[in-house]
Amino acid sequence: MRNFNEKTITDAVIQRFSSSTDPRIKEVCTSLVKHLHDFVRDIRPSYEEWEYAIDFLTRTGKICDGNRQEFILLSDTLGVSMLVDAVNNPTEGPVTQSTVLGPFFVEDAEEFALGANIAGGMKGLPAYVSGSVSSEDGSPIAGAAIDVWHSDDAGFYDVQQLETLGGNAGRGRFYSDENGKFHFWTIKPTCYPVPTDGPVGEMLTAQGRHPWRPAHLHYMIQAPGHRKLVTHIFDRADQYLDSDAVFGVKDELVRDYVDQSAGVAPDGTKRDAPYCTITYEFVMAKKAARAA
């Protein structure tokens, strides 16, 4: 086959996949080519526009490193991350809703005992964070691995200021106790803009969008026999709840920070200065329920 044109080239490309022995690869590539070719026929880009698109993706890849993933940020800001999340985590019964992982997750975070303070060198209003982890049948989950990470009160994550902080801060891993409960100290995070010094920032400006995310605590919770839960807990007082740059807010995940005066904290420790508290009861979906 040769002499392809605007109407015939799509079928010709798809025909080249006919000898693939992997049906999923054939399915994905066929759909990709159909949608991509239809996109080109729809917008009819000039050579200069297509070259810019390729350059945009090239620059997106070049800015990625061990601490920054611009492609995840691109996926987030185009709503693709939340769409993938929705496809893989349909709302089922009383379970806690999921949301995007985000570009600042770090593998193998330091483990802490319950009640520890993970703020490190971060400054801000002290916050006592507590909660529980249970299964969808209401039974508490002991030993659930709870990864948490968040920004400081200026909107920066530790990986954005490692030299200043001297290491990781505002992140850690805890394990729920025999009653499925957990608690720790840190500082209250604030809203922040996603990084705008790269290609994604350039895209947001061109689209006339702001880059801000409402203040939140990231959680990743894992327990045997249950579906991994990736979610946020948002600050009800935040101004960006209805315009989150990555479309991650869900009403169920919004909670209040309650201001507290100096005195004895919920864990029995004495606090010489004001602090705040926030709590959330997480409910995890059973893997068997999802399979059914």
Average pLDDT score, the chain: 94
CA distance 212 to 71: 18
CA distance 101 to 149: 11
pLDDT at 196: 95
Token pair of 36 as six digits: 């991509």
CA-nearest of 208, 280, 219 to 248 is 219
Q: What's the CA angle centered on 212, arms 158 and 260, to 5 degrees?
A: 65
Predicted confidence (pLDDT) at residue 198 exceeds the cutoff of 90: yes
Predicted confidence (pLDDT) at residue 123 exceeds the cutoff of 60: yes
The H-assigned helical ranges of the chain are: 9-15, 23-43, 47-62, 70-77, 80-88, 162-165, 199-206, 287-291
Predicted confidence (pLDDT) at residue 290 exceeds the cutoff of 80: no
pLDDT at 106: 87
Cβ 189 vs Cβ 217: under 8 Å? yes
pLDDT at 274: 98
Predicted confidence (pLDDT) at residue 227 exceeds the cutoff of 80: yes
The CATH superfamily assigned to 70-291 is Aromatic compound dioxygenase (2.60.130.10)
Task: Map tokens 């698109």 to a residue.
Answer: 53
Q: Report, as an integer, the average pLDDT of 88-114.
A: 89
Query: Which residues lie closer than 8 Å to 258 by C-beta, 6 or more apart?
Result: 276, 277, 278
Predicted confidence (pLDDT) at residue 292 exceeds the cutoff of 60: no
Token pair of 56 as six digits: 């945009």
Instruction: Tell me the CA distances in angstroms from 38 to 34, 41, 42, 285, one per residue in order.
Output: 6, 5, 6, 38
Convert the pLDDT of each residue in 40-67 to its tens digit: 999 999 999 999 999 999 999 999 987 7
pLDDT at 288: 63
| 292 vs 208, higher pLDDT | 208
Convert the pLDDT of each residue in 130-180 to its tens digit: 999 999 999 999 999 999 999 999 999 998 888 788 788 999 999 999 999
Q: Report, as an integer, the average pLDDT of 77-90.
A: 93
Q: Report, as an integer, the average pLDDT of 282-290.
A: 79
pLDDT at 291: 44
CATH 2.60.130.10 residue ranges for the chain: 70-291
CA distance 241 to 238: 6
Percent of the chain with pLDDT over 90: 86
Terminal CA-CA length for the chain: 46
CA-nearest of 118, 126, 247 to 194 is 247
CA distance 107 to 109: 6
